[in-house]
Amino acid sequence: MNLADCPSLHVIVLPEWENNTVSSARVSLCLKVPSLQPGELLCSFLDEIYAIPTAIQWDSLEIKDNVGNLEVRHFHETGQHEIYHQLFVKRKTEGPILLTYRAAFAPARPNPVLDMGQEPGGVTGSGYCWMPSFPKNVYQLHMEFSRANLPQGVRALWAHGEDCTNLFIREDGLQKVFYCFGKVDCVEHGSFGYYWIAREGVDASPIAHWTAKVFLKMADFFQDSGESYKIFARARSCRMSGGTALNRSYTYIYDPQNPPPFTQLKFLFSHEMVHNWALLFNEPYGTCTWYIEGMAEYYSLVLPWRMGLVSREELLIQLNERAEQYYCNPCIEFTNLHLGNLLFHDLEATTVPYGRGLFYLMEMDHRIRTKTSEKYCLDDVMLKLLHDYRKNPHIQNRAWLEAVSKIAGYDETERFLAMCQGIVIPPELSCFTGANFAFQKRNAFTRREKKPCHIYYIH
C-alpha cells in the first residue's frame, strides 16, 4: 500500500477541567475515506472491557457528512473479555465524515489500566473506554489536543507526543495507547518520557533516569525504529504496584502512601518495556500469552544483568520470587487456553503464563545453545520473530516453531505442546552468564488449596 493513499483522520480532543482534575473531554473526529455503502461499518467503540464501562455519553454523539446528519445502526457484540459497540451507516456517505461526542471520566480504577482515571491534578488512562477503532487499514492521523479549557500549566499528552502529532496508525491506534492530561512532573531523555501527576512528597526522577538508560539500551538490542515511548504513573490506593502495557506506552499504579521499592520498579519497568517488541498475535487470549509475558519476564531479567545495571543479589531475589509464584501456583497445570479464559477472573490463573513462559524460555535458550554448539541462542529466534511480526502482526505459535526449526535445526513441537498443556518446567539458569546460579528442589504446598508440590530454590 502507498501510505500517501491511506484514509485520513483528524482528531481534536478538548479536555475539560473541573474540581482540580479533568472531568471530561469533547472529541471531534473527521474521517476521510472512500464513500461507504449502506450497511458498511463506520467504526467500533467498546461498551465494556474487563468489566470497565465506556466513558462515552451516547446522547452526545452526532455524525454528519456532506449531505447532512448520518444515521447509523448500533450493533452490540460480545467478545472474549469485551462488548463491542459497532456503528453501521444506513445510507451511502458523501465526503468527509464528522463524529463528535463527549466522554465523562470517573475516579481511577485498579489494574488493568484501561479506563481514563481521575486523581487530584489530572487524568491518565487508555483510549479503550472513549476512543473508536476503524475497519482494518492504515490511517494518516493528525491528533490535536486543545488546552482551551485547561488551566495554565496543565499538559495534554499521549504516547506519541504532546499537543499536535502527525503519524500513521493502525485501525485500533486511538484505543490501544495511553493518554495523560494534567499537572505533570516528568523526566525526558530523547524518545523516552516518564510522567506522573505532581503530588507533594512524590519524586519519581531517580527511577525515571534509571529506566531511561535501560530503555535506550533495550531499543538498540531490539532494533527499535526510534519512536517515542512513555511511562505514565497513576496514584491510587493499592495492595501492590502493577500496570498495563499498550502501544509505545505503559501506565502503572502506585500507592503514594506506600510507594514501591526502587529495585521492584527496575524489573517491573524492564518487563513492560519488552512489550514494545517481543510480540505474537494473542487471540483468542491465552494462545500466545506464554510468549508475550514469558519474553517480557525473560528479557527483563537477562538484559539488565547483561548490561551490568542490576546486582547478582537483586537478580537472585527476583528469580526466587518468580519461582515461588510459579511452582506454588494452584493453577500451574491448567492449559494455556483455559488460563486465557480466566484472565482477571482468577488472579492465580492470570499469573501462570508469566512463570510458564519464563521457565520455558530459559530452558529454550539452553536447548538452542546445545543444539547449535553455542552458535545460536534464544536471542536469534526472538529477533527473527520480531522481524516477521513487523511484517505480519498476526503471526502466532506456528511462527515460533518454524523459527526454532530454521535456526536451531530441530522440531520443538512435542515439548512446546507439553508446555501448552501445563507441564511443570524446572529452572535452567545458564542464560545468566557469570552469575553461577544453582538450585535445590524442596517440598512445598500450593497457595489456596495447600496441595503438596515442589519448589526450586535458587542460590
Whether 248 contacts 228, CB under 8 Å:
yes
Asked if the peptide bond before residue 426 counts as cis, ω within 30 degrees of 0, the response is no
Per-residue 3-state assignment (H helix, E strand, C coil) for the chain: CCHHHCCEEEEEEEEEEECCEEEEEEEEEEEECCCCCCCCEEEEEEEEECCEECCEEEEEEEEECCCCECCEEEEEEECCCEEEEEEEECCCCCCCEEEEEEEECEECCCCCCCCEEEECCEEEEECCCCCCECCCCEEEEEEEECCCCCCCCCEEEECCEECEEEEEEECCCCCCCEEEEECEEEEEECCEEEEEECCCCCCCHHHHHHHHHHHHHHHHHCCCCCCCEEEEEEECCCCCCEEEEECCEEEEEECCCCCCCHHHHHHHHHHHHHCCCCCCCCCCCCCCHHHHHHHHHHHHHHHHHHHCCCCHHHHHHHHHHHHHHHHCCCCCCCCHHHHHHCCCCCHHHHHHHHHHHHHHHHHHHHHHHHHCCCCCCHHHHHHHHHHHHHHCCCCCHHHHHHHHHHHHCCCCHHHHHHHHHCCCCCCCCCCCCCCCCCEEEEEEECCCCCCEEEEEEEC
Whether 308 contacts 283, CB under 8 Å:
no
Model confidence over 131-183: pLDDT tens digits?
999 998 899 999 999 999 999 999 999 999 998 999 999 999 999 999 999 99
pLDDT for 5: 80
Pairing, β 249-254 against β 229-235: parallel
Cell of 383: 529477533
- Identify which has the larger pLDDT, 243 or 71: 71
The rounded distance, in Å, linking the Cα atoms of 456 and 459 is: 10
Task: With cut-offs at 50, 70 and 90, classify the pLDDT of residue 237.
Answer: confident
Residues above pLDDT 90, as percent of the chain: 91
User: Which residues, listed in sequence order, are joined to residue 179 by a DSSP beta bridge?
Assistant: 125, 158
Q: How many CB atoms lie within 10 A of CB 51?
A: 13
Model confidence over 367-384: pLDDT tens digits?
999 999 999 999 999 999
pLDDT for 259: 87
- Residues 409-437 have a mean pLDDT of 98
User: Is the pLDDT reported for residue 351 higher than 60?
Assistant: yes
User: Which residues, listed in sequence order, are joined to residue 145 by a DSSP beta bridge?
Assistant: 13
Lowest mean pLDDT among 25-34, 118-127, 316-325, 335-344: 335-344
User: Is the pLDDT reported for residue 310 higher than 80?
Assistant: yes
How many Cα neighbours within 13 Å face the side chain of 229? Answer: 26
State if pTM tops 0.95: no
Which residues, in sequence order, are CB contacts of 162 under 8 Å at separation 6+?
145, 155, 156
pLDDT for 416: 98
User: Is the pLDDT reported for residue 1 higher than 80?
Assistant: no
Whether 325 contacts 413, CB under 8 Å:
no
User: Is the pLDDT reported for residue 2 higher than 80?
Assistant: no
Residues above pLDDT 70, as percent of the chain: 99
pLDDT for 4: 67
Answer whether CATH 2.40.10.10 is correct for domain 3-274. no
Model confidence over 244-284: pLDDT tens digits?
999 899 999 999 988 889 999 999 999 999 999 999 999 99
pLDDT for 3: 67
User: Is the pLDDT reported for residue 122 higher than 60?
Assistant: yes
Closest C-alpha to 129, from 179, 181, 165:
179
- Residues 441-458 have a mean pLDDT of 97
The domains of the chain are located at 3-274, 289-458
How many Cα neighbours within 13 Å face the side chain of 122? Answer: 26
The rounded distance, in Å, linking the Cα atoms of 208 and 213 is: 9
pLDDT for 242: 82
The rounded distance, in Å, linking the Cα atoms of 216 and 100 is: 39
User: Is the pLDDT reported for residue 243 higher than 60?
Assistant: yes
The rounded distance, in Å, linking the Cα atoms of 193 and 232 is: 9
Q: How many CB atoms lie within 10 A of CB 132?
A: 25
The rounded distance, in Å, linking the Cα atoms of 356 and 218 is: 23
- Residues 345-356 have a mean pLDDT of 96
User: Which residues, listed in sequence order, are joined to residue 197 by a DSSP beta bridge?
Assistant: 184
Lowest mean pLDDT among 34-38, 225-229, 353-357, 421-425: 225-229
Cell of 302: 537477562
User: Is the pLDDT reported for residue 362 higher than 70?
Assistant: yes
Whether 123 contacts 181, CB under 8 Å:
yes
User: Is the pLDDT reported for residue 408 higher than 80?
Assistant: yes
User: For all residues of the chain together, what is the average pLDDT?
Assistant: 96
Cα–Cα distances in angstroms (integers) from residue 394 to residues 141, 282, 283, 423, in the given order: 23, 8, 9, 26
The rounded distance, in Å, linking the Cα atoms of 24 and 22 is: 6
